[in-house]
Amino acid sequence: MILVLTLLLALTGHADAAPRYQDYPAADRFQGRAAEPNLGSHPDARRYRTLLRRASREGPNFAGHFTFVHIGCGTGCTGVAVVDAKDGSVYFPQGLRMAQWAGWWHHPVGPQYRLSSRLVVVYGVANEEEEQGHYGVAYFLWNGADFELLRFDPRDRGRPPK
């Protein structure tokens, strides 16, 4: 019986379906003016104060009331910070510290996210240097303070267009 159920799930594609944005909805959507980043809420916040302030002024872009902040670390590379629009708390998540897409010849590239979802999908390399990184698609879930890796699907990096 279990073998039959497993086979049916595999054939219908439910056994190995990749996470979808709609599977992880944001609890609420922020309305109003975003709080200034609280530079005392994380030891690294002061170092990136200008970037955090600038990104926060744009308002939430992720998980209902958070701003996903890109911190440049080179061509095709971004460090990650998250600012809560409600209270200004700044997070430098350890679960998703950086994303790289240099040498990734597929589209989309880098971290992709939505205001309506807690899911972040990274196309390229997550948390590793490009030279030693594992290329693929990584799915991360925001828990309100950090990211948790849900799944990683390895993929070849592709080839540049001719």
pLDDT in tens, 16-39: 899 999 999 998 899 999 999 999
Q: Would you list the DSSP string of 33-67?
A: PPPPP-TTSSTTTGGGHHHHHHHHHT---BTTTEE
What is this structure's pTM?
0.88
DSSP annotation of 7: H
User: Both tokens of residue 65?
Assistant: 């009331």
3: amino acid identity, one letter: L
- Burial profile 81-90: b = 16 or more Cβ within 10 angstroms, e = fewer: bbbbbeebbb
Comparing 7 with 110, the larger pLDDT belongs to: 110
The domain locations on the chain are 19-154
pLDDT of residue 8: 40
